[in-house]
Structure 1
Amino acid sequence: ILEDIPDLWNITDLRSLRSCDEGVISFLDSAEVHANAAETLCAITRFAPPGLAAKITSPNFTGRLFRHALEDSRPKSVLVNSLTVCISLLDPKRLTFGIYQTYRQVSQGPMIAANPETVEGMLESLGDLLKLLDVSSSELTLLTTYGKLQPPLGKHRLKKFAQPEKADWLFINWHGILQIVEFISVLLTVGSEAAEKELIRLGAVQRILNLFFEYPYNNFLHHHVENIILSCLESKNVPFVEHLLRECNLLGKILEAEKNCTLTSDPNMPTISAEGRPPPKIGNLGHLTRISNKLVHLGNSNAEIQAHL
């Protein structure tokens, strides 16, 4: 399919465009080829001519892509690859394949000028997507050198499980959650007030912030959450900044982490320290330091932030 992409540039007939995008989405049904289908769509988002670009960034297309991925009958890996396409639609220049490549992108850079209609199509299914961030029903546990994860969250951790019947859940747990958080991170760089309002309504930032503190050794997660927090703080939408500082209690969580900077032994937490040994320091202090420095910097010119400080 990738070899035939240059032929797509000459497509101008609307029926051909419809056939093209519907055909590629249909490939997402197959567990064998959906990763290639997603890569094809990402390539199209980067290099498509105006006619095709307008088609694949339309709310109808993005809405169908989300609904397709969230159907219960689909493999969870379809959701992960569909989110990759959505990330590319929001930010075509972003390296969307490979977590290591994503981690290397230390800064989101300038605000992305995404099509508001593209964002609109994604918001329709945002609530169903965010439900997948709740992993409290899992009974899986994993012993580590510093303690125990319940449930584990991370690709390399989950390689230790050899339970085929758990494979689908494990995939959405380690990769899906990181991909959802990355998607929210990119969505916030668009500067869409509609997206910010919906994230407030759904409690998305609060849940993601909780994950940051519940998994203090997941650096990939911390990277995306830090970008989310910075986007929130730099938002021109005052209620959104207020939501982060008040309802999400960002400052309170930072101060609590500074006061109790060792891993908890609370058995109700997802990450707990090993018994019979001193608890280690939490691993997200570097991210918290950068967030704190950003708060102080913004507080010098933002009365709302300064009041909370």
Structure 2
Amino acid sequence: MDCPPGMSHPSFSVNHSILEAVRPRLKDFHQLLLEPPKANLMKTTWGVLDPPVGNTRLNVVRLVASLLQSNTHSINTELINLNTLGIILDMYFKYIWNNFLHIQVEICTAMILAMPPAPTEIQPDTEQDPARESILIKHLFQKCQFIQRIVEAWSSNEKDQAEGGRRRGYMGHLTRIANSIVHNCDKGPNGPQIQQLISELPAEDRDKWEAFISGQLSDTNKRNTVDLVNTHHIHSSSDDEVDFKDSGFHQDSSLQQFGFNDEEFADQDDVVE
């Protein structure tokens, strides 16, 4: 199986029993995103964060990125039912200076766009080629309004900058996310589905997207000399790596299969936002 850009093959080898053990607890992790452990509000030079992101929620997002990389139908379905991706996108656009969060969201969206449908999402063989559609992509474009939120955030940032404000901290990641949509629409394994979903957008939203990719995004790419085919920019530090790996712990814990330990889900004071 081909890996999404920036990912490696070992991440796709996960014990199915581990995934099934984690699946019933996804609702609890989802609830942590909605109601994180109480933390004091954080005053910063750009405003007050109440609540800040915190280590707990950041590590939940990291866990979701790892689970998405397994490309397992039952996990994908549960994340959709909970609308976990929608909540994570809300956090991305709310916490505009937390690059630790932004890179994880970028990894999540890159994997969703580039991965083929999970095996059980493929319809049974017929006389024609089986239809291949990703339920995650459908959820991202329809329920999460992925396209609309990108265009809206970009326009809002331009308005702020025109009024003398600072460029938002997630804009570099947003540029790569938008480029990933364009690239996968044109050359990715889910291209036909992405094209269809874009064509089904309301006419006004579709026109805004087309104007955006031919205008602001194209201009930004020219300034940044971005190669749309090359997505090697999407990477993470060793601390943020989403590959499944042996964490070095010997206790029986499903989370340890994903490189986590219990302490990482306890809020600490050393994470910005």
TM-score of the superposed pair, with normalisation by structure 1? 0.51
Contact 1:262 1:280 in 2 (8 A): no
The equivalent residue for 2:165 is 279
Deviation at residue 179 of structure 1 after TM alignment: 0.8
Across the aligned residues of Structure 1 and Structure 2, the Cα RMSD in angstroms comes to 2.4
The yes-or-no answer on 1:288 pairing with 2:184 is no
Task: Tell me the matched-pair count.
Answer: 172
Identify the residue that residue 136 of structure 2 maps to in structure 1. Answer: 240
Distance 2:167 2:43 in 1: 17
Select the residue among 14, 18, 27 that pairs with 1:118. Answer: 18
Q: Kindly provide the amino acid, as one letter, of the partner of residue 144 in structure 2.
A: C
Kindly indicate whether the alpha-carbon contact (under 8 Å) linking 2:113 and 2:137 is maintained by their aligned counterparts in 1.
yes
Q: Does 1:199 align with 2:79?
A: yes
Q: 1:257 aligns to what SS in structure 2?
A: helix
Shift of 1:136: 8.0
Q: CA 1:252/1:137 → structure 2, altered by over 3 Å: closer, same or farther?
A: farther
Deviations 1:226-254 (A, max 9, x none): 11111211233322210011101111110
* Deviation, structure 1 residue 147: 2.1
Alpha-carbon distance between aligned partners in 2 of 1:144 and 1:133, rounded to the nearest angstrom: 22
Unaligned runs of 5+ in 2: 118-133, 199-273
The 8 Å contact of residues 36 and 56 in structure 2, kept in 1 or not, is answered as no
The corresponding residue for 1:305 is 194
Which residue, 118, 122, 145 being the options, matches 1:249? Answer: 145
Give matches, 1:1-309, under 5 Å.
Answer: 107-110=6-9, 111-135=11-35, 140-153=40-53, 174-237=54-117, 238-261=134-157, 278-301=164-187, 302-309=191-198
- Kept in 2, the 8 Å contact 1:112–1:189? The answer is yes
Deviation at 1:115, TM superposition (A): 1.6
Scaled by the length of structure 2, the TM-score of the pair is 0.58
TM-fit CA distance, 1:133: 0.4
Identity %: 29
Contact 1:263 1:282 in 2 (8 A): no
The separation in 2 between residues aligned to 1:212 and 1:108, in whole angstroms, is 21
Following TM superposition, the consecutive aligned residue runs of length 4 or more in structure 1 with deviations greater than 3 angstroms are 135-140
Structure 2: which amino acid aligns with 1:245?
F
Write 1 or 2 for the structure with the bigger share of helix: 1
Q: CA offsets, 1:272-303, max 9 Å, x none?
A: xxxxx953221101111111111111101411
> Hey, what's the Cα distance between the residues in 1 that align with 2:30 and 2:158?
29
Cα deviation, residue 140, structure 1: 4.1
Three-state SS of the structure 2 residue aligned to 1:151 is coil
Q: Is the 8 A contact 1:135 1:151 kept in 2?
A: no
